[in-house]
Chains A and B, each alone.
Chain A
Amino acid sequence: MRLPVACSCGIVSEKARYRPFVTALNEMLLHSRKLKSRGDTINDSDIIFAINGPAILESYRLAKRKPPLVCLLAEKFKSSFGKHDSPGFNACMSNARKIKGNNKKLDPKEVSTITWGNILQSWELHANGKINSEMRTDFNAEEFLDADDDEISSASAGSKRKRSSPSIPSSKKIKIEQSLSPVVPIALKELQCAFYGIERLRHSMDITHSMSILLSGEELSPTAHFFDTDDRQQMKC
């Protein structure tokens, strides 16, 4: 799974990142299923990541915008885009990365079945520059899948995380060079994520909250920096 992530991050063009990145995310899901000894059968709560292109969903507020990647229930994805010969999770994964690749127009009936209420999460991929590929990417699954409960729960809550990792000496960690800010004002991509969040919130009174993820490409400094756990952005409300 590290190969498609590294491949995706190495692409300067935003649109070209979609396919390898959605593949990487779905590979992570597949790997997790294997660890749980799960077969190809899709359960009601299973999720899948898919490319939103040609656009399944768009926001027309202020400007026409669409999330590049979406997370939705695999069952919903299968019923909307699954072919007759694609009942399982692997086939859905294959379809999820082909929607864009085939560059075909979607059947209006297929598109109409997906609403903002069906989207569990929106992903915005905002490529601003190159990513230095010299840093370590050769992780093994075993290195992090045995993470203890504290690490998992704190990562889930988004709060300050444990920084120590047995495989990465803290002295080797690399800090993002903040001075290399993108030309586009940073508020725009954040605003765009908020649009997707609002579109989902307003869809139904049954929706209590929504989540969006922003992946912004930065040019990473080749210089290593030391930093401690307090040198992180804190939760903002």
Chain B
Amino acid sequence: MLTLYWYDSQGCIEADNINIIEELPLLVIMIRIFEDFPLGMWGYTPINVWTEDENQQKVYYCCEGARVGSFQIKGRRSFTADATKISAQTAIPPTIATASTTTPAPSSSHDEHSEGAQLEHERSEDILFLKSAWPEVNRRKEPEVIKEAYKRAEKLLETEAPSVTEHLPIVVNSEELTYTSTEIIRHLVRSTTTDGFRVQLWMLSKKLQPIHTLDPKDFWVAFWHTIRCKPLFFSVGSD
């Protein structure tokens, strides 16, 4: 008996069994259909992560280094990574998978010292924090929640607002990839499932400095700031 299992962020779909002796034609047809699958049907859907520059031109980013997600099927299945800006000379919009070896093009300045400082500055500006996750379709998405938190903190906390807003991510861009919705396959197989659908969402935000890299004095200041942020954050109704 042959059974096909489909795994995605919403769980597992088990297809009807095929008796490969009695129903050999079905096996052959299945293999023939597999042969004609585009890569998307195999589950490979490269993502273009981008922001817009001051001229409203798309600037693409790619992952730095290999990242492995959590060992789970059903759930948010979060991936996080540093994302590096791709140089404008890159002709083809990169994907997360293919652009990992691409590096930004060097500057042509003559002043080596200022060139180095400028490059360092540009590089730190060019590295963003990338997060990909599979939230439920009907739930509020993370970029929206962050935006609401800023709004409430500034409205309700007034002078204390920076104690919250300085600890919130600065979202540069995000995109919900509607074509990845788990509802699509369930609709196609006429599943009776009516809720719990998930969709992939990526978010680029400014990279925060890790607390463990601070000097001891600055570490404790930052530490108490985070402790203070928590109740203030709850007081404006965010979680």
Contact = CB atoms under 8 A, between A and B. Distances in A.
Interaction A to B: yes
Given A161-B16, A216-B1, A209 B25 contact: no
Nearest to B193: A237
B22 A194 contact: no
A73 B96 CA distance: 20
B67 A237 contact: no
B145 interface: no
Interface string B1-16: 1111111101111111
Contacts of A28: 27-28, 31-32
Nearest to A215: B2
Given A32-B32, A137-B21, A194 B12 contact: yes
Interface string B65-102: 00111111100010100000000000000011100000
B5 A214 contact: yes
A201 B73 contact: yes
Interface stretch (B43-51, B150-158, B231-239): B43-51
Main secondary structure of the interface of A (DSSP, over half): mixed
Interface in A126-152: 131, 135-137, 139, 141, 143-145, 147, 151-152
Contact of B25 (A143, A215, A233): A143
B24 A5 contact: yes
B38 interface: yes
Interface stretch (B106-114, B116-124, B163-171, B180-188): B180-188
B5 A197 contact: yes
A144 B14 contact: no
Interface string A4-30: 011001000000000000000100110
B227 interface: no
B43 A176 contact: no
Contact of B35 (A32, A197, A200, A209): A32
Contact of A205 (B5, B33, B47): B47
A109 B114 CA distance: 43
A136 B72 CA distance: 42
Contacts of A84: none
A155 B2 CA distance: 13
A208 B97 CA distance: 13
A210 B8 CA distance: 7
B29 A155 contact: yes
A228 interface: no
A131 B24 CA distance: 14
B221 interface: no
A157 B32 CA distance: 14
B174 interface: no
Given A176-B1, A201-B73, A135 B7 contact: no
Contact of A209 (B6, B20, B46, B192): B6
Interface residues of B, number: 65
B28 A235 contact: no
Contact of A47 (B30, B34, B45, B97): B34
A213 B38 contact: no
A156 B33 contact: yes
B31 A29 contact: yes
Contacts of B189: 157-159, 235
A109 B11 CA distance: 35
Nearest to A207: B43
A193 interface: yes
A209 B32 contact: no
B123 to A, nearest CB: 23
B140 interface: no
List of 6 A-B pairs having minimum Cβ-Cβ separation, nearest first: A144-B25, A158-B15, A197-B7, A209-B8, A202-B69, A205-B79
Given A28-B31, A210-B6, 8 more contacts: A5-B21, A157-B189, A174-B19, A197-B73, A204-B96, A208-B43, A210-B7, A237-B13
Interface of A: 1-2, 5-6, 9, 25, 28-29, 31-32, 45-47, 61, 71, 117, 120-121, 131, 135-137, 139, 141, 143-145, 147, 151-152, 155-161, 165, 168, 173-174, 176, 190, 193-194, 197-198, 200-216, 218, 220, 232-237
